[in-house]
Amino acid sequence: MEDIRSTLQSKIANHTADVGVIGLGYVGLPMCIEFAKAGFRVTGIDKDANRIAQLKENRSYILDVDQTTLRSISTKLHPTTDFQALSAVDVVIICVPTPLRKTKDPDLSFILSATSEVANFLHRGQLIILESTTYPGTTDEVILPELQQKGLHVGQDFFLAFSPERIDPGNKVYSIRNTPKIVGGVTQACGELAELLYQSITEKVVRVSSSKSAEMVKLLENTFRAINIGMVNEVAIMCDKLGIDTWEVIEAAATKPFGYMAFYPGPGLGGHCIPVDPHYLSWKLKTLNYSARFIELAGEINGSMPLYVVNKIFDALNEDSKSVKGANVLILGMAYKRNSNDVRESPALDIFSLLQAKGARVSYHDPFVSSVVIEANNYSSAALSPSTLQQSDCVVIVTDHETYDWQFVANHSKLIVDTRNATRSVLKGNCRIVKL
C-alpha cells in the first residue's frame, strides 16, 4: 500500500504524473491549461468531437482561453474523445455538468456516465477527483461504490477526493492560480494526495476533513449568494412599491465599513452555479425530512425576476401609450454576466421568451454572443447602431458588458429599462430610463 501511495506522491511532486481531465468546458479546459503550464502531461477528454477538433487546431471555444495560450501548451495537452486514454493516466479529474431536472431534482447523469468510464479503466495507483458541484455525500455514496466494484480499496489501491471548482467566467482578477482550492478526501491519504496535486497549480490549498465537507463548502458559497441576491431582489420590489430609488439605498448602505456586504438586484440568476447548486442541497435535505426554507424562498423570488422585469417593460411601454404586442424590443446582453459569452440559465433567455409570447418583436445585441438558441429557434445578435436603437420602442439592459457605451445607447434610444443600473452615470437627454 505504501509503495503505491509513495510512487504516486513522487510523480505528483515531480510533475511527472499524467493528468486526465473529463469534460472540457468552462471548468475542465482551464484546469487542463494550468496543469500543462505546470509541466504535467495532460489528456483532455470530451464527448463533443467538435470541441476536440478545435483544440487540436489550437482554437478556443471559451472566451477566457485565448489561442496563444493553447499554442503555448499544445505539446502538453492531448485532447481526445476516447475514454480508453484513462488507462494510461495517474490522475483523473471529473469536470462534467450537473444540471437540474425540471422538477428541481439533481441530474447526476453526467457524473454517473463519467464515473462508469473511470471505473472501466481504473487501476492501482490512480487518484480520482470530482470537481462537479453536487450534493453532500455524492463522492462517498455514488462514486466510491462504483469504483470499488473491481475489488480495489480506496485509500490503499486507489485514491478518491472532492475539490469544488471555483471558476468565475470573465473574471480578470481571480483565476485558478490565485483562488484558494478546497479539497476533501474520502480517506486521509486521499486528501493528502489531492492537496499535493493542487499545490502545483494554485497558491493556496485548504484541506477539509472529508469529501462531504468539501461538497458542502461549495454549496454554502453559492447558497449564501443565492439567498442574499433573493433578499436584495425583494428589497428592489419593496422600494419600487414605496417609491424609493433602490440603488441609492444600496449604495448608501454600502458605505458602512462593518456588518454589511453589498448585494445588487438584477433580472434573475444565471450561470452554472447560483441558480442550480442550492437546489442540490435542498433536495438532499428533503431526503432527510427537512425543508431548506431559505433556499426555497430565495429560489421563488429569484425565479420570478424575469417576469417582474417583463411587467416593468409592459408598464413602461404603457406610459408611452404603446402596447407590448407589436412593439420592437431590443435586449442588450444575452450572457448571464458581464464580459462573458456564457448564456447558461441566463435570465435574458426567459425575458426574450416572455416578451415574444406577448406578441413583442424581440431582438438582442451581445458583443460576446453572436447567436443563441431560444425554444429551438436560432437568433443572431443584431448590430448596435443608431438606427437599431431608434427603431426600438424599448431597450432592455440585461447584461452590463463593459464594452457598451451607455451614453451612446441613451443618445439614440427612446425608452430604456435598466435592470443593472448600468446607466447610472449617463446624461439622460431625451431618453426615458426606468430602473429595476
pLDDT given at position 102: 79
**Listing from the earlier edge strand, what are the strands of the sheet with 415-418?**
361-365, 328-332, 394-397, 415-418, 432-435
Average pLDDT over residues 241-264: 96
Average pLDDT over residues 227-248: 97
Alpha helices by DSSP H, 381-436: 386-390, 406-412
Q: Is 206 exposed, middle or buried (0-12, 13-18, 19+ CB in 10 A)?
A: middle
Average pLDDT over residues 131-157: 96
C-alpha distance from residue 186 to each of 209, 211, 369 (Å): 9, 6, 41
Give the Cα separation of 104 and 32 in Å (integer).
31
Of the candidates 32, 190, 239, 273, the residue annotated as catalytic is: 273
CB atoms within 10 A of CB 373: 10
Take residue 410 and report the three cell numbers written for it.
441613451
pLDDT given at position 13: 98
Helices (H) and strands (E) counted in the chain, each on its own, are 15, 15
Average pLDDT over residues 384-398: 97
pLDDT (tens digit, 9 = 90+) per residue, 71-92?
999 999 999 999 999 999 999 9
Domains of the chain with bracketed CATH: 2-209 (3.40.50.720), 277-435 (3.40.50.720)
Alpha helices by DSSP H, 243-385: 246-253, 277-286, 293-319, 347-357
Confidence of residue 103 (pLDDT cuts 50, 70, 90): confident
DSSP 328: E
Average pLDDT over residues 90-106: 92
The vertex-230 CA angle with 224 and 233, nearest 5°, equals 140
pLDDT given at position 35: 98
pLDDT given at position 27: 95
Distant-in-sequence, close-in-space partners of 297: CB < 8 Å, separation ≥ 6: 230
| Cβ 397 vs Cβ 420: under 8 Å | yes
Confidence of residue 1 (pLDDT cuts 50, 70, 90): low
DSSP 142: I
Query: Which residue type, as a one-letter code, is found at position 247?
Result: W
Give the Cα separation of 209 and 187 in Å (integer).
9
pLDDT (tens digit, 9 = 90+) per residue, 327-350?
999 999 999 999 999 999 999 999
Give the Cα separation of 401 and 367 in Å (integer).
8
Give the Cα separation of 344 and 175 in Å (integer).
20
Confidence of residue 150 (pLDDT cuts 50, 70, 90): confident
Give the Cα separation of 98 and 111 in Å (integer).
7
The residue with cell 462593518 is 258
pLDDT (tens digit, 9 = 90+) per residue, 49-61?
999 999 999 999 9
| Cβ 208 vs Cβ 182: under 8 Å | yes
Read off the pTM.
Answer: 0.92
Give phi and psi for 196, each to the nearest 5.
-60, -40
Please say if 273 is a catalytic residue: yes
Distant-in-sequence, close-in-space partners of 350: CB < 8 Å, separation ≥ 6: 268, 306, 307
| Cβ 174 vs Cβ 167: under 8 Å | no
pLDDT (tens digit, 9 = 90+) per residue, 302-317?
999 999 999 999 999 9
Q: 417: closest CA among 360, 357, 376?
A: 360
